[in-house]
Amino acid sequence: MTDPGWPVEPEQRRRFSLTHERRVFLLALGAGLPGVVATLVLLWTGSYSARAAWTLGGLVAGVWLIIAIALRERVVRPLQTLSNMLAALREGDFSLRARLGRSDDALGLALLEINMLGDTLRTQRQGAMEATSLLRAVMAEIDVAIFTFDDHDALRLVNRAGERLLDQGAERLVGKQAAALGLGALLRGGSPQVYDLTFPERAGRWEVRRTTFRQDARPHTLLVIADVTKSLREEELQAWQRIVRVLSHEINNSLAPIKSLAGSLQVMVERGVTGSDGSEASDDMQRGLGIIASRADALSRFMSAYARLARLPAPQRTQVRVEELVRRVAAIEQRLAVRVAPGPDITMHADRDQLEQALINLVRNAVDAALETGGSVDVTWRLDGARVELVVRDQGLGLPATANLFVPFFTTKPQGTGIGLVLSRQIAEAHGGMLSLENRRDVRGCVASLTIPLADR
């Protein structure tokens, strides 16, 4: 094909090109053209009358055209049906169904697949509508303020709790900037975090959570604001009640014998009760004063332990080589040889003193348990992704119950303070880790796992 020498516009190109229907029709005509031409040649060159030649020629030509048109319709109509059904599916109309859908026919199979696609899309849309309806109902009824902002900090969605919090209806709030609503700082602050905030409806302490998602290929921010004033007050009250119960119990346990002995000693002094040489009174007074001093010292240790638990400082992180830490802690324990099972060469970013104290507490508890049964204690460490797991195993009696393990001042030891495990867990959580204890499955005993992130988070 030669170049016409001038640019052809797309509209002109479309005008010059043949449509699919015309191509099919021309191909159908071309398929029957040789036979029709041969028939006409035979009719006009044979010994037929003109009337018979015209009649038969017209009949052949008519049949030829009818078959070509029928073939065109047979090819084009199903394609139009498929096009109409796809358009309906695109518009969300799943009620149309194609007839003659059969699995043993190529065209029928295509129509059958279209029908099945419509059923699938209808089911999915129904499920999506039901899920959306449920989500809207939950958002409307939940007593937590929910806001959705687009990438320009404009409000796009708010639930009823959010309307009540800002004391405005959704029709007035949607479209406003976060800064104009007084929520701009919450889109930039930490999450989750508790703030002291004042809103048109009420003031108090609020927990703010924030996350991002994409809608219509654009980033959006989901902001959730929950009133935690009442919950925090209830927790604070319960904490004070627990503190008062623990303090009163320990103080009464110490003051009761002190008061009794002080009264007895006062009576002895007032009566001047003495033996022949005064030794009996002197011994009794010394024993009484010794008991008073012992109980006062115990009370002092308890208050020191309580203050230590309440004033755990923030971790001062440095580079800590795990193997050196473990071997140093194992060497501190003199009552029993603690075996160190080698682990990988790891350096972590943590507070050396706090981590050492937590590990000392775990090893000391393990040794106490092992001494009761004559068992052994071993310490090791391993790498679990981005975390280091310090493991202390003993062959003691195991854990009789785990409900009170981390209850402050709960202890089963005669000289225990009940803060070792609590302090160790606080140290682990301050580092972003965790502490867990469970009975061993291979032998009798307990295994304590102290998991700490390699780096600060």
pLDDT tens sequence across 88-139: 888 877 777 777 666 667 777 888 888 888 888 888 888 878 877 777 777 7
Residue whose tokens read 């230590």: 308
B/e letters for 397-435, b = 16+ CB within 10 Å, e = fewer, are ebbeeeeeeeebbeeeeeeebbbbbbbbbbbbebbebeb
φ, ψ (nearest 5 deg) of residue 213: -150, 170
Q: What is the pLDDT of residues 349-386, one digit of tens each?
A: 998 888 888 898 899 889 988 998 899 999 999 998 88
Residue whose tokens read 């695109």: 90
User: Measured in whole angstroms, how far is the alpha carbon of residue 376 from the centre of its chain?
Assistant: 40
Percent of the chain, pLDDT > 90? 12
Q: What is the pLDDT of residues 379-409, one digit of tens each?
A: 999 998 889 999 999 999 887 765 456 555 4
CA distances from 349 to 104, 285, 315, 340, 452 (A): 68, 56, 10, 22, 9
Dihedral-angle region of residue 216 (phi above 0 means left; psi in -120 to 50 means alpha; beta otherwise): left
Tokens encoding 166: 């800002």
CB atoms within 10 A of CB 387: 16
CA distances from 76 to 15, 22, 51, 365, 452 (A): 20, 10, 37, 85, 70
Give pLDDT, residue 6: 46
CB atoms within 10 A of CB 37: 11
Query: Which range has the worst mean pLDDT, 142-146, 303-307, 402-406?
Result: 402-406
Surface-to-core class of residue 126, CB atoms within 10 Å of its CB (0-12 exposed, 13-18 middle, 19+ buried): exposed
CB atoms within 10 A of CB 352: 18
User: What average pLDDT does range 198-205 have in this prediction?
Assistant: 76
Helices 50-90 and 20-45, interaxial angle, to 10°?
Answer: 170
Distance, in Å, from the CA atom of 39 to the CA atom of 45, rounded to the nearest integer, reads 10
Q: Work out the mean pLDDT of the chain and round it to a whole number.
A: 78
Q: Does pLDDT of 158 surpass 80?
A: yes
For every residue of 27-87, DSSP letters joined together read HHHHHHHHHHHHHHHHHHHSS--HHHHHHHHHHHHHHHHHHHHHHHHHHHHHHHHHHHHHH
Alpha-carbon dihedral 429, 433, 436, 440, rounded to 10 degrees: -160
Distance, in Å, from the CA atom of 264 to the CA atom of 225, rounded to the nearest integer, reads 62
User: What average pLDDT does range 289-311 have in this prediction?
Assistant: 64
**Do β-strands 446-453 and 387-394 pair in parallel, antiparallel, or remain unpaired?**
antiparallel
Distance, in Å, from the CA atom of 17 to the CA atom of 319, rounded to the nearest integer, reads 75
pTM: 0.41
Residue 99 DSSP symbol: S
Give pLDDT, residue 422: 77
Give pLDDT, residue 451: 92
User: Measured in whole angstroms, how far is the alpha carbon of residue 218 from the centre of its chain?
Assistant: 22
Give pLDDT, residue 49: 80
Residue among 428, 425, 266, 452 nearest 348 (CA): 452
Helices 279-310 and 229-271, interaxial angle, to 10°?
Answer: 170
Q: Does pLDDT of 275 surpass 70?
A: no
Distance, in Å, from the CA atom of 404 to the CA atom of 410, rounded to the nearest integer, reads 7
Residue whose tokens read 């109902």: 137
Give pLDDT, residue 86: 84
Give pLDDT, residue 102: 65
Percent of the chain, pLDDT > 70? 74
